[in-house]
Amino acid sequence: MANLINGARNVWETQDVDVLVAGGGPAGLGAAIGAARMGARTLLVERMGFLGGVGAIGLGMTINAMRPDGKPRSLVHEAFLERLTRFGDIAYRYEENGLVDHAYVTNTEYLKLAAFQALEDAGCEYLLHSFVSDAIVERDAVRGVIVSTKSGPLRINAKRVVDATGDGDVLYFAGCPVAKGREEDGFLSPMTSLFVIGGVDVDRIVGYQRALERDSDSEVHNVGPRWTRLLADGRREGYEVPERMHLRPTVYPGSVYVNHAGNKLYGVLDGTNVNDLTKAERLMRQQAVDVVRLLKDRNIPGFENAYLEQVSAWAGVRETRRVVGEYVLTEEDAKTGARFPDAIARRFGLLDVGYVRLEKMTPHDVPYRALVPKRIDNILASGRNISTTHVAMSAGKSMGNCMATGHAAGVASVLSIRQNVAPREVNTRLVREALARDGVPLDI
């Protein structure tokens, strides 16, 4: 056995499943629902005490690419959305803005419950507070994972594993080749911690920000130069604030959420490095407090009675590891609308290297080969850790796009079990046919 964990000799329990999905964000939900709907015994493990990933920690940040052009993109996406929208307008708002025409603003507490319900509807098991700490590898094939829990280490034997951790943890532990950051210098998109400001006059804030945007020559929405100037002035005067930010109304009355440039001014912080994560969490909570203080001190319209209402549960990591797969998606693929014969998903929306580049891209295919790591078998990538370049990764991290590649990975995992072949050898025609039965429009 390769890659045996330090502590594996103290494993307290063993479970056996068909498909193990690591990570409960959008990619993990897609993979788990997709696999469970096909009748496979599927277990999703998540390190936090809730599901939803960035959709849950975003505190109202828009969830993009779930229904491009208002059209359903799969039964799996719809299974989740049906549970969310069943709660009514207290749980979500559908909105359009300049660059995004298929965005959901959510009450994240309803989103978290919707994720549980969607898994239960599909017959999927799940386990929270469970951190995947290593992979079990034999003869260059993943046979399961070791999970660290409060009760002790847990060994989960799995016929197939889908890595939906965002950071490619299982792929990395299994010895799959991975890449990280911009090719020429290792630059990583800045981390962000979103926060909510309460006690505000939303209409006055929206009007003020629109005025800033009209005066801006920036193509990037909601980050006009006057916000930049205000923040720069604040930093010179001792406020710990980010370089850029934008504000949008939440679904709650009298509140806005803030998305910002996070640690951009502090160099590259790596979301797979515990020291960098610690620094980011400390920095971003200070930034939340100081942004509110600055807005009030400068008498910005609408913030006279403002207070910091909530900060996201953990730092929002935009970019870390991505697998090196049988095909590497490129920026050119994303911008020219590339098509592939083994397409298993489409990606829609924006090319978004956080607060560095933001522009529209052309809807394009994701080939199955981009989910398949080189060398190691029985594991597939999904979400933002699929095989891409640095820029092409930024084109696929919207929640709907992550769910789509997760869905495909879950379906392919089950089919490879049925065909008794490694995932890299699965018949992609059968994968495409199964996805079509699940309502995935691969030919548009």
DSSP assignment of 268-281 equals ---TT-HHHHHHHH
pLDDT confidence of residue 226: 65
| H or E segment to which residue 14 belongs | strand 13-22
DSSP state letter for 13? E
Q: Which residues, 6 or more positions from 144, have their beta carbon under 8 angstroms from its beta carbon?
A: 20, 135, 136, 155, 156, 157, 158, 161
pLDDT at 444: 64
**Which residues does residue 259 pair with via DSSP β-bridges, in sequence order?**
246
Residue 11 banded pLDDT, cuts 50, 70, 90 = low
pLDDT tens-digit profile of 133-189? 999 999 999 999 999 999 999 999 999 999 999 999 999 999 999 999 999 999 999
Question: Would you state the pLDDT for residue 59?
Answer: 87
CA dihedral for 69, 70, 72, 77, sign (positive or negative): positive
- Write the CA distances from 206 to 9, 59, 209, 255, 299, integer angstroms: 58, 18, 5, 11, 15
**Residues 311, 315: Cα–Cα separation, whole Å:** 10
Q: What mean pLDDT is predicted for residues 239-249?
A: 93
CA geometry: angle at 341 spanning 336 and 345, to 5°?
70
Q: Is the pLDDT of residue 208 over 50?
A: yes
Q: pLDDT value at position 98?
A: 57
pLDDT at 209: 85
For the question of whether the overall pTM of this predicted structure is more than 0.85, the answer is yes
Question: Phi/psi at 6 (nearest 5 deg)?
Answer: -70, 115
Backbone φ/ψ region at 337: left (φ over 0), alpha (ψ -120 to 50), beta: left
Q: Which domains does the chain have, with CATH numbers?
A: 8-185+319-437 (3.50.50.60), 195-311 (no CATH)
Residue that wins the pLDDT comparison between 224 and 365 = 365
pLDDT at 211: 82
Residues 350-359: tens digit of each pLDDT: 899 988 898 8
